A and B are shown apart, each in its own frame.
Chain A
Amino acid sequence: MEEHFQHLYQALSQVDGYIYPNEIDLHWGLMIVLYPYITGLVAGAFILASLERVFHVKVLKPTYGLALLTALAFLLVATMPLVSHLQHPFRSYEIFMTPNSTSAMAIFGFVYLWYLMAVLLLEIWFDYRRDFVIWSKTSKGFKKLFYQLITLGINDTDEKSAKLDDRLGYFITVIGIPSAFLLHGYVGFIFGSIKANPWWSTVLMPIIFLFSAMVSGVALVMLIYMVVSWIRKVDIDMKCLDTIARYLLFILIIDFTLESLDQIHRIYEAEESFDIISVLVSGKLNITLLVMQVGLGTIFPLSVLGLFQFYKPSERVRKFFYFLVGGMVLIGIFFMRWNVVIGGQLFSKSLSGFTSFKTVYSGMEGSVMAAVWLILPLFILAFLLWLMPPWKKVTYHE
């Protein structure tokens, strides 16, 4: 506690203007930045998978299974930053036991569960069930046991059962698309519905969160597809990669348009919070918003991907730039979350001053912990790819 007080005394000495005395402590730190970031990656990866499944974009087939498993790996970790941020994490189950029906955060718990249990796990299960049965006959040890258990005793492998799996899987994906929209739109609503905070309170927030989620998820799957191909020493399907990049460009354009609209609207209306917000953007968020989010995370990828629609350099060059752009987009969206969560708490609700935020390394809210929550899904993904490699599947949906 002493360390926390010291940290706050330091922040107190850096207050600029007037803030309410209870506002010196930023109540939402790095963990709450990660929470919408990771949830967004899940929703985005799922929507990319759905493009192939529901809208029959066959060229994206090499990334279908990868995108689903990526979504699952990140979804399993998505609530961890949230729970570890709670002052009483062992009471977190109360959100499910006695939810307050007027609370955006309480309802999110159910949206999350619905998405995990009813959509993602079921879709993956129907997609893999027949493979599990077949693999259970050819594997040994842990894998054999896992495959046997996960079939849940349904061991049919005939054409009829495969067709049924396919139909049910398709049906779930169709439900899954609005569910993924709901999942991340809802995260946006958690912020957008806070009328006390003019930086958050915009009706566009859910839709901005949704499109930025798609941007980040698509970029992540693109990167993972490239890395996994290199590790497996197989050729990257350039048609697939070019298509993903094209989708990334389109979604990025929509995302950037929406965010620009939000800012233009603020500037034009210039309500009472405008003065403090303009100082926030040009000052405290100067680097994270203008340089990281807009410059590196949006303008640079837009320019490169836009250029590639008219001029196609060699595969080698394209791969290099796709990799670079994917990374930049992921960094940009991370800073978008940062600018929303941290930015929204840097200025006082008295609209008269600023507090400061300094990342710490250690502790539950520290950057080391944040790195753990970001790297852990990659390990889970590696495990899932080992356990149920999409490239070894013998059953494919139509």
Chain B
Amino acid sequence: MGTNGMNNRRKFFKASAALIGGTIAMSIMKPLGLMAQTDSDDNTQEKDKLPLWGMGVDIEKCVGCGKCAEACKIENNVPKEPFYFRTWIEQYTVKNDGEVKIESPNGGIGGLKQSVPDKDIFKSFMVPKLCNHCTNAPCVQACPVGATYISPEGVVLVDDSYCIGCSYCIQACPYGARFMNPVTKVADKCTFCYHRISEGLQPACVEVCPTDARIFGDLHDKKSDLVKFLQKNPTEVLKPHLNTKSRVFYNGLSSEVR
């Protein structure tokens, strides 16, 4: 082999090593925050000024009218078919013999009706469900490309133009709050109506709730309705053992609810 060949090969190895090294360095630097300005003191102060959105759900107030689920579908262009929901209501009926019946026909849209005769019912209640906007979101952890992320205001969002549609986030969500949108072919979920709350409005489901069973607000704002709700009521999150640090808090959550 000639010296020329040797040089070419050396150049090729050098270039390859630089390319591979560069890629790896970028991949490592990014999560460690070593790349310019991702988490500087200024940004942290900025972040503190931002709201931290959350939701309270008062199970004792929900009547299962389904208006929230319906409004959500209209507001967010969620396909009408009964397999796609950003929010839905579950009706729990504990019978006298201890059996638990859970129903949510069409996510509760059109109103939930009791199918168990009164005499057999021990207790019954409605549980609105939605994305829990977890602080330790398993979906964000699992997304291979970072298309799912937490906004500075604590809202778990999906970048439609970036999602590859692998469904790993759907598998990772313990609450069944995600679905694959058949139109956009990307993962879809509740955004707390990010487009509305950014304009100072309430999420559509909160806006239409006739009994104020859903309380939306800023967890940083001590005067917000949400903080007051959390102060007054013993609240719980869904599946606390999974340590997702959910930001949707339930009052009156019964142990039957998963």
A351 to B256, CA, bound (A): 11
Interfacial chain B residues near A359, Cβ < 8 Å: none
A50 to B141, CA, bound (A): 35
Chain B: which residue is nearest A352 at the CB level?
B102
Check A27 against B144 for contact (C-beta < 8 Å).
no
Interfacial chain B residues near A98, Cβ < 8 Å: 145-146
Check A196 against B172 for contact (C-beta < 8 Å).
yes
Is A362 an interface position by the 8 A CB rule?
A: no
**B residues contacting the other copy or chain, number (CB 8 A):** 53
Chain A: which residue is nearest B167 at the CB level?
A27
Is A23 an interface position by the 8 A CB rule?
A: yes
Given the known inter-chain contacts A94-B162, A196-B138, please indicate yes or no for A25 contacting B180, CB distance below 8 A: yes
A349 to B1, CA, bound (A): 63
Check B145 against A95 for contact (C-beta < 8 Å).
yes
Chain B: which residue is nearest A191 at the CB level?
B171
Check B170 against A27 for contact (C-beta < 8 Å).
yes
Interfacial chain A residues near B177, Cβ < 8 Å: 22
Interfacial chain B residues near A18, Cβ < 8 Å: 90, 101-104
Check A196 against B179 for contact (C-beta < 8 Å).
no
Which residues from 132 to 172 on chain B have a C-beta closer than 8 Å to any C-beta of chain A? 138, 140-146, 162-168, 170-172
Given the known inter-chain contacts A20-B175, A154-B1, please indicate yes or no for A1 contacting B182, CB distance below 8 A: yes
Check B129 against A20 for contact (C-beta < 8 Å).
yes
Check A195 against B146 for contact (C-beta < 8 Å).
no
Residue in A22, A154, A197 whose CB lies within 8 Å of B83: A22
Residue in A1, A8, A88, A103 whose CB lies within 8 Å of B163: A88
Given the known inter-chain contacts A5-B81, A21-B88, please indicate yes or no for A86 contacting B179, CB distance below 8 A: no
Which residues from 95 to 114 on chain B have a C-beta closer than 8 Å to any C-beta of chain A? 100-104, 106-107
B90 to chain A, nearest CB (A): 8
Check A4 against B141 for contact (C-beta < 8 Å).
no
Interfacial chain B residues near A102, Cβ < 8 Å: 31, 140-142
A98 to B170, CA, bound (A): 20
A12 to B144, CA, bound (A): 30
**A residues contacting the other copy or chain, number (CB 8 A):** 51
Interfacial chain B residues near A348, Cβ < 8 Å: 176
Interfacial chain B residues near A92, Cβ < 8 Å: 164
Check B171 against A28 for contact (C-beta < 8 Å).
yes
Is A281 an interface position by the 8 A CB rule?
A: no
B218 to chain A, nearest CB (A): 27
Is A228 an interface position by the 8 A CB rule?
A: no
Residue in B145, B167, B168 whose CB lies within 8 Å of A94: B145
Q: What 1/0 flags go to A1-35 for Cβ under 8 Å of B?
A: 10011001000100001111111110110000000
A315 to B182, CA, bound (A): 56
Is B197 an interface position by the 8 A CB rule?
A: no
Is A363 an interface position by the 8 A CB rule?
A: no
A101 to B41, CA, bound (A): 24
A5 to B82, CA, bound (A): 9
A146 to chain B, nearest CB (A): 20
Given the known inter-chain contacts A18-B103, A23-B176, please indicate yes or no for A88 contacting B185, CB distance below 8 A: yes
Is B173 an interface position by the 8 A CB rule?
A: yes
Residue in B1, B164, B171 whose CB lies within 8 Å of A91: B164
Chain B: which residue is nearest A97 at the CB level?
B145
Given the known inter-chain contacts A92-B164, A349-B174, please indicate yes or no for A87 contacting B186, CB distance below 8 A: yes
Interfacial chain A residues near B165, Cβ < 8 Å: 86-88, 91
Hey, which bits of chain B sit against chain A, CB under 8 A? Answer: 1, 5, 27-28, 30-31, 81-85, 88, 90, 100-104, 106-107, 129, 138, 140-146, 162-168, 170-180, 182-183, 185-186, 242, 258
Listed A/B pairs (23) with beta-carbon separation below 8 Å: A5-B81, A5-B182, A8-B81, A18-B102, A18-B104, A21-B176, A22-B83, A22-B176, A22-B177, A87-B163, A87-B186, A88-B164, A88-B186, A91-B163, A101-B30, A103-B146, A109-B144, A194-B171, A196-B173, A349-B175, A350-B176, A350-B258, A352-B100
Hey, which bits of chain A sit against chain B, CB under 8 A? Answer: 1, 4-5, 8, 12, 17-25, 27-28, 85-89, 91-92, 94-95, 98-106, 109, 153-156, 190, 194-197, 345, 348-353
Please provide the 7 A-B residue pairs with the shortest distance between their CB atoms, ordered closest to farther: A87-B165, A20-B176, A196-B174, A18-B102, A27-B167, A106-B144, A87-B185
